[in-house]
Structure 1
Amino acid sequence: MTKHTKPARTLPTREQIKTFIEESSRPVGRREVARAFNLKGPDRIELKRLIRDLVERGDIDPGDRRKVSATGRLPSVAVVKVISINDDAEAVARPVSRTTVGKLTEVLLPHVNGNPSFSIGDRILARLSHFRGGIYRGSVVRRLETESQRVVGVLKKSNKELRLVPSNGRRSHEAVVAKADAGEARAGDIVSAKLLPGRRMGSRKACVIEVIGRENSPKAISLICINENEIPDNFSPDARELAEKAKPATLEDKREDLRHIPLITIDGPDARDFDDAVWAEADTSTSNQGGWRLLVAIADVAHYVRPNDALDVEARKRGNSVYFPDRVVPMLPETLSNGLCSLKPGEDRACLVVEITIDAKGRKTSHRFQRALMRSVARVTYEEIQEIQDRDPQASEGLAALSRPLFGAFRALVQAREKRGALEIEIPEMRVVVADDGTVEAIKPHARLDSHRLIEEFMIQANVAAAEALQHRKHPCVYRVHDRPAPKKFEELRVNLSGFDIQLSKGQVVHSTLFNRILEQARGKGHQSLVNELVLRAQSQAVYTPHNIGHFGLALRRYAHFTSPIRRYSDLLVHRALIDAHNLGSGGDGHSEPSELEAVCEHISMTERRATAAERSAINRYSTLFMADRIGEQFESVVSGVVRFGLFVTLEGGQADALLLARNLPDDYYDHDRARHELLGRHSGMRFRLGHALTVRLKDANLVSGRLEVDYVAGGEANRPRKRIGLGTRGKPKEKSDSPPRRGRSGRKKTDD
């Protein structure tokens, strides 16, 4: 009888062990590695030696409890800081400690009912698992208190003490301010305060740092937003001194004289910092019949702001200018932003110019960068240039003669845009008109004119040319990238669109043209604006990075921000790179490496999100101020957001958004279906979902937090009550709810902050 022998086990190589550890989502121990390679007995001793060698060579990192992980991986539990929160309450965080982690590591924290609430800037203890690349998934263990957490709020008199009511509306930030800690602040003051550590029982304590303004002063709204988001608004003495000493540029330093070219600036009526000027003419080349020659001149900020000088330090810290209805927090001192850098008409200005040639179908055939001296012949608004073009498009004199080729080139560029399938989301932008005394005169949508689109298309072409020029010369570049939507977001969009009879197939290739077809199906229908909003929510967030992945929304393979260096630090970095790459004189970046740019890109992506949050909160507060004297009135509204504790509704005319709490809906227990964006009553079957029309009554206008609250009057969708399935025996499904029940009026259960 033949005796069978077991096949000999072979030890895995160091590379195989390293690959297994890198592909594991969490740190692994020796036992898990042995099990994966079916190792037993003496082989496990040899495995221990191989793992120790990998650690000593730096190929893997040691962790807690004798576990190991891939190099640079985060531990299984770590402290992270929240840097952004989207409309669905999903957060993006970054590790607080970066001793072993790359600078672009991100942690995704999905919204889970029952978890503690948190805001941008909060520190979270999270349990982590590796997802892909530098991306981790996290689950919240708890929110960590900081020793000196800063809060903006208003002081209210309560008995014999002052209470701090936070502007962010979070009850956990409410505090008592002792007389000794109030300084000169008094009831009704808007203050910046520091929450003091050490509370275990009773009210929190806070100490006033600064008095911002008075509660009843409309001009304090933007000050609240500036302080709430910790936006730097004071320049250092060194930076101010540098700006004051700056002198106008001349033709030296390799500049071409373009003062004979009739460039014009086209901006909004309130604009004071003119970044860009444009000009166009028909291309006379016989090889490009019907084509156009464009000039896009951009303020040469790099001439005045040199790497690592005091102005550069301040600009990098801010990242961008922040625009409020009543003021601007500039990235650069006004001596530069509204002075020497601004392309004012009739004044010589230093600029970086790109000459672009396009064919009759709007396709770019060539581009060339040069440093120049220009003199704008006119400053016109979007409305003025549109009126000139509409009144006499064939005129041959003055501004009309300059506008005709501009619009001709624009029509060609629109053809190219439509052919490549750039995303065409239409979300009306509301404009707050503020009087000199700070009161709100009106809130109305911005007009969307062809003149706006003209400037956008010219700027896009200049931005593409900048990215292509730097990539062609193999020079590091700060790209503006926009990834395709995440599969989860796309699936949520598919489910929501089915409620509007717009069908999407699972697993299809996601391209911007697909979204444009969706938007076209909704055009002219009652749900058009909501479908545009849903498509926007499904998109990834655009960021800055030295690693190019293209721009999904614009359907472009290469893209960078080049056209606004007065108000965006990213554009200043691109200018410096172009100056170096084309040998255009002084003020370049000294050939920065991608690794050096990563931290800067991370920072300016954060400052952009910070500015957006501040600008949005200012609009909300001005809207609240505008609606404050209409409490008790009824409004028609549309559900624009669904959360576990209620509904967000947009009031008729789009002038304001308001919160309708679940406890103010008809009596019932409401379950939140996050995927379908709806609240469903357990007993009545009442359904409230995105797009539903509701009649509401304005109940409260909180000027400090900028929140409007409404009561339910009518609307929603009546359905048969669904049958609830309890804890059944095996084989009977248990109905899963995305959230604990929310009570209607009878329950009066308080919502979380």
Structure 2
Amino acid sequence: MVGHRPQKTLPSKEDILGFIATQSGKVGTREIARAFGLKNADRAELKAMLRELEDDGRVDRKRKKLHHPGMLPDMVLAEVTTRDRDGELIAVPADWDTDTNGEAPRIRIHVPRRARPGEIPGVGDRALLRTEDVGAEDGIRYRGRVVKLIGQARNRVIGVFRALPDGGGRLVPIEKKNVGRELAIPSGRTLDAQDGDLIAVEVQRHGRFGTTSAQVKERLGSVATEKAVSMIALHVHGIPHVFPREVLREAETARPAALTGREDWRDVPLVTIDPVDAKDHDDAVFARPDTDPKNPGGFVIDVAIADVAHYVRPGSALDREAALRGNSVYFPDRVVPMLPERISNELCSLKPGEDRAALAVRMVIDATGHMRSHVFHRILMRSAAKLNYAQVQAAIDGRTDATTAPLLHMVLAPLYAAYGALQKARSEREPLDLDLPERKILLKADGSVDRIVTPPRLDAHRLIEEFMILANVAAAETLEKVRTPLIYRVHDQPSMDKLEALREFLASIDMSLPKTGALRAAGFNRILAKAKGRDVEILVNEVVLRSQAQAEYASENYGHFGLNLRRYAHFTSPIRRYADLVVHRGLIRGLRLGDGGLPDGVDLLSLGEVAAKISAAERRAMAAERETVDRLIAHFLADRIGASFEGRISGVTRAGLFVKLDDTGADGFIPASKIGNDYFRHHEGKHALIGDKTGETYRLGDRVSVRLVEAAPIAGALRFELLSEGTITRTDKRRPGRAKHKPSEPKEKRSNRVGKRPGTARRKR
């Protein structure tokens, strides 16, 4: 290594940090030892030094590579945001955790002289970049080369059309970041849009002064009905939702798979277990006691997954569209599928009594739920029944129906017995066990919200979850064994910064977090267990969740922290996730199971590009789904202005408080300027706003009463007025001049808040 001569003594920590900073490739214990001429006897001490550097937060270990925290990986999905004074393009990472790593680093994009027009990004585009650290140049440390353009910007803005007397109109944007930035639409460019229509416009001219003009390109429907709500999210996030003709043509010409080249499993009584309203059924399960005398109390578990790879071949129109979409997107009123219905709801839906192609894994577990062996098969199957979670749970609890009664002893009871064994292994593994209820919106026939419910969490749900996790582990292990590249589902451990913030918060409620050593998922579970039954239970669950990293897809493995698994891949839902389809193709290629396998030219580099794109698509889908729920609930509550609600503080920022209502789960905002007659400061570590003068405190998780004062359904925004008093956490007063009264609030307001109002919720001490 240039600049590092072999030496006999151990390097200092500063020497190690300096060496890591100079390297662009993989840096691990072996590379450091080689650079400093260390022998095998010295490596134990070197590893101890590296662990200390990790514990101190001075280096991160990710994907078997050591690097400084906050540094970019070699490959990154980035958004082109601006040009510098020399006209060069500047980008920032599309997925950057500012809470953990601070301000996102800027990347100067290098465009080769001979680049073709389609290879050159513009402001607003997304691109996959190969980055290198070139040192600080005008404050820009990284240079990036475009590997692939992900999506080029269209000057499209979504909003509500407001008609003007002259025949033109104005567009009121629906994105929160564009609220108040209206666009002028001249007469003749309205596409006959009517007042109140949801429209998509193309920006025509950016004026130096005044508003910007635009032309209507598409009418998306009236915003008077909730049916337009999910369309807003689709257009705002650029989610493809109309299949090209070529894709539909390929789907329509596809024919069911035959038995040729497959094992005949049609006599195996596999069953599907899904939500009651599911339209596609891509996984089926069966279990039976193992008859091998060497495995007493063990089970044989079969998990069969629809063989999507048989119908969606690499490089086909279906494949290109599926890769573009990345995953299916689920809204309360519709599903935007990754694949056309001819594939997802017909040929690949494991319907009872019909022959279907599948990729199956047969797994043998022992009495304690540990996997002894697993083998993959390409099969033709015939589902014995289509069941739903509540139906299966009722049968196990003694309430069978015409469908479940014949299956109870032969199919359902063995499934639950095998699940009982898997529970033992899960308890031993101790994955992260957060307890946060999920709400579901039920709609009326006209698309409006009927009610919002919290479905019970049944053992039937957990059974399928454990079977799928086991199959996913088997897929990852098999692909590693046959040396076939794959896309892992990975989840990094929490960053040092987030752990420190969690430690500070827990200390404020008389709980503690270990200060040294790596914290495993089991450590978080012990914290959650201590909070169970206390008034801070929901609060602690929320804060622990926020301390976690985000799961993603990657071609290199660094484990799944939340599940506490060393290797994990998504295999069980290729109908709705492209990552699973890639894993299926890898298994077909690696195990020589026939046609439709991973092409020979696919390697870690190309799979790394795919993983980056589908991770971004997953985050895009999550944002769209969340925003649609917000808009639907805002519609639901729009006629209840002035009503009072009970809830909990779900977010604390410098600008104010977010409150989640108990009955609907709706989130609304209370500006800090509207809280009391004091100056409230944001205490990040305590997740609280605390009054300078009074010490009045509003903290994450506190129960509060609020009044709804404004609802903006199109933006999905609610604004509340706080009715509850905060908790007084101290009695001392600060020095004169530190307390500030807001000029916008009269002094009389404070007198109106003395004493506890009826219905006021105080946090228990």
Query: If the length of structure 1 is used for normalisation, what is the TM-score?
Result: 0.80
Q: Secondary structure at the match of 2:724?
A: strand
* Residue in structure 1 matching 2:225, options 192, 217, 220: 217
Correspondence for 2:632: 622
The answer to whether the aligner puts 1:361 opposite 2:368 as a matched pair is yes
Q: Secondary structure at the match of 2:624?
A: helix
Partners of 2:746 and 2:126 lie apart in 1 by 31
Query: Which runs of no fewer than 5 residues in structure 1 stay unpaired?
Result: 1-10, 27-68, 101-118, 139-145, 727-734, 749-753
The answer to whether the aligner puts 1:656 opposite 2:673 as a matched pair is no
The alpha-carbon distance between structure 1 residues 685 and 226, as it changes in their structure 2 partners (threshold 3 A), is: same
Partners of 1:78 and 1:314 lie apart in 2 by 29
* Residue in structure 1 matching 2:266, options 259, 262, 273: 259
The answer to whether the aligner puts 1:386 opposite 2:384 as a matched pair is no
Partners of 1:469 and 1:368 lie apart in 2 by 8
The alpha-carbon distance between structure 1 residues 742 and 349, as it changes in their structure 2 partners (threshold 3 A), is: farther
The alpha-carbon distance between structure 1 residues 287 and 724, as it changes in their structure 2 partners (threshold 3 A), is: farther
Correspondence for 1:248: 256
* Residue in structure 1 matching 2:161, options 155, 159, 175: 155
- Listed one character per residue, the Cα deviations across residues 684-703 of structure 1 (whole Å, up to 9, x for unaligned) are 33222211222110011111
Correspondence for 2:570: 561
Q: Secondary structure at the match of 1:649?
A: strand
Partners of 1:578 and 1:331 lie apart in 2 by 21
Q: Secondary structure at the match of 1:97?
A: strand
Partners of 1:455 and 1:512 lie apart in 2 by 22
Partners of 2:409 and 2:105 lie apart in 1 by 51
Partners of 2:667 and 2:4 lie apart in 1 by 61
Q: Secondary structure at the match of 2:300?
A: strand
Shift of 1:496: 1.7
Correspondence for 1:746: 745
Task: Report if aligned partners of 1:351, 1:371 keep a CA contact under 8 Å in 2.
Answer: yes
The answer to whether the aligner puts 1:695 opposite 2:705 as a matched pair is yes
Partners of 2:684 and 2:124 lie apart in 1 by 22
Correspondence for 1:59: none
Task: Report if aligned partners of 1:662, 1:744 keep a CA contact under 8 Å in 2.
Answer: no
The alpha-carbon distance between structure 1 residues 13 and 689, as it changes in their structure 2 partners (threshold 3 A), is: closer
* Residue in structure 1 matching 2:244, options 190, 212, 236: 236
Partners of 1:527 and 1:120 lie apart in 2 by 43
Shift of 1:81: 4.4
Correspondence for 1:23: 21
The answer to whether the aligner puts 1:547 opposite 2:537 as a matched pair is no
Deviates more, 1:286-295 or 1:667-676: 667-676
Q: Secondary structure at the match of 2:682?
A: strand
Correspondence for 2:50: none
Partners of 2:19 and 2:214 lie apart in 1 by 47
The answer to whether the aligner puts 1:478 opposite 2:484 as a matched pair is no
Correspondence for 1:116: none
The alpha-carbon distance between structure 1 residues 611 and 91, as it changes in their structure 2 partners (threshold 3 A), is: farther
Shift of 1:70: 13
Partners of 2:697 and 2:510 lie apart in 1 by 18
- Listed one character per residue, the Cα deviations across residues 334-365 of structure 1 (whole Å, up to 9, x for unaligned) are 01110001111111000000000000000000
Partners of 2:354 and 2:104 lie apart in 1 by 45
Partners of 1:158 and 1:655 lie apart in 2 by 38
- Listed one character per residue, the Cα deviations across residues 78-97 of structure 1 (whole Å, up to 9, x for unaligned) are 72245347796978788583
* Residue in structure 2 matching 1:524, options 533, 553, 571: 533
Q: Within 5 Å, which residues of 2 pair with 1:301-320?
A: 301-320=308-327
Q: Within 5 Å, which residues of 2 pair with 1:471-620?
A: 471-591=480-600, 592-620=602-630
- Listed one character per residue, the Cα deviations across residues 91-140 of structure 1 (whole Å, up to 9, x for unaligned) are 8788583769xxxxxxxxxxxxxxxxxx99899xxxx9899xxxx999xx
The answer to whether the aligner puts 1:180 opposite 2:188 as a matched pair is yes
* Residue in structure 1 matching 2:333, options 326, 329, 339: 326
* Residue in structure 2 matching 1:97, options 101, 109, 134: 109
Matched letter for residue 620 of structure 1:
D
Partners of 1:714 and 1:746 lie apart in 2 by 17
The alpha-carbon distance between structure 1 residues 743 and 478, as it changes in their structure 2 partners (threshold 3 A), is: farther
Task: Report if aligned partners of 1:670, 1:744 keep a CA contact under 8 Å in 2.
Answer: no
Correspondence for 1:281: 288
The alpha-carbon distance between structure 1 residues 564 and 353, as it changes in their structure 2 partners (threshold 3 A), is: same
Deviates more, 1:395-404 or 1:590-599: 395-404
The alpha-carbon distance between structure 1 residues 122 and 330, as it changes in their structure 2 partners (threshold 3 A), is: closer
Matched letter for residue 279 of structure 1:
F
Task: Report if aligned partners of 2:290, 2:297 keep a CA contact under 8 Å in 1.
Answer: yes
Correspondence for 1:460: 469
The alpha-carbon distance between structure 1 residues 71 and 692, as it changes in their structure 2 partners (threshold 3 A), is: closer
- Listed one character per residue, the Cα deviations across residues 278-319 of structure 1 (whole Å, up to 9, x for unaligned) are 000011110000000000000000000000100000000000
Correspondence for 2:407: 398
Q: Secondary structure at the match of 1:488?
A: helix
Correspondence for 2:717: 707
- When the two chains are superposed, the root-mean-square deviation of aligned CA atoms in Å is 3.5
The alpha-carbon distance between structure 1 residues 70 and 645, as it changes in their structure 2 partners (threshold 3 A), is: closer
Shift of 1:674: 2.3
Shift of 1:682: 2.4
Matched letter for residue 383 of structure 2:
S
Shift of 1:196: 4.3
- Listed one character per residue, the Cα deviations across residues 449-482 of structure 1 (whole Å, up to 9, x for unaligned) are 0000000000000000000000111110100011
Correspondence for 1:38: none
Matched letter for residue 23 of structure 1:
A
Matched letter for residue 642 of structure 1:
V
Q: Secondary structure at the match of 2:511?
A: coil
Partners of 1:219 and 1:702 lie apart in 2 by 16
Task: Report if aligned partners of 2:98, 2:104 keep a CA contact under 8 Å in 1.
Answer: no
Task: Report if aligned partners of 1:666, 1:745 keep a CA contact under 8 Å in 2.
Answer: no
The alpha-carbon distance between structure 1 residues 158 and 639, as it changes in their structure 2 partners (threshold 3 A), is: farther
The alpha-carbon distance between structure 1 residues 398 and 457, as it changes in their structure 2 partners (threshold 3 A), is: same
Q: Secondary structure at the match of 2:188?
A: helix
Q: Secondary structure at the match of 1:286?
A: coil
Task: Report if aligned partners of 1:663, 1:742 keep a CA contact under 8 Å in 2.
Answer: no
Over the matched positions of the two proteins, sequence identity in percent amounts to 42
Partners of 1:208 and 1:82 lie apart in 2 by 31
The alpha-carbon distance between structure 1 residues 477 and 488, as it changes in their structure 2 partners (threshold 3 A), is: same
Query: Which runs of no fewer than 5 residues in structure 2 stay unpaired?
Result: 8-14, 25-71, 113-122, 143-151, 748-765
- Listed one character per residue, the Cα deviations across residues 166-186 of structure 1 (whole Å, up to 9, x for unaligned) are 222223643222223322222
- Listed one character per residue, the Cα deviations across residues 151-178 of structure 1 (whole Å, up to 9, x for unaligned) are 2211234676633222222236432222
Shift of 1:667: 2.4
Correspondence for 1:410: 419
The answer to whether the aligner puts 1:633 opposite 2:654 as a matched pair is no
Shift of 1:203: 2.3
Correspondence for 1:751: none
Shift of 1:147: 8.2
Shift of 1:625: 1.7
Q: Secondary structure at the match of 2:294?
A: helix
* Residue in structure 1 matching 2:351, options 344, 349, 359: 344
Shift of 1:375: 0.3
Query: If the length of structure 2 is used for normalisation, what is the TM-score?
Result: 0.79
Partners of 1:157 and 1:747 lie apart in 2 by 39
Shift of 1:514: 0.4
Matched letter for residue 533 of structure 2:
G
Deviates more, 1:488-497 or 1:86-95: 86-95
The answer to whether the aligner puts 1:372 opposite 2:379 as a matched pair is yes
Deviates more, 1:647-656 or 1:471-480: 647-656
Q: Secondary structure at the match of 2:176?
A: coil
- Listed one character per residue, the Cα deviations across residues 622-663 of structure 1 (whole Å, up to 9, x for unaligned) are 111222222101112211101121110011235311111112
Q: Secondary structure at the match of 2:280?
A: coil
Partners of 2:4 and 2:93 lie apart in 1 by 40
Shift of 1:212: 1.0
Task: Report if aligned partners of 1:163, 1:176 keep a CA contact under 8 Å in 2.
Answer: yes
Task: Report if aligned partners of 1:259, 1:374 keep a CA contact under 8 Å in 2.
Answer: yes
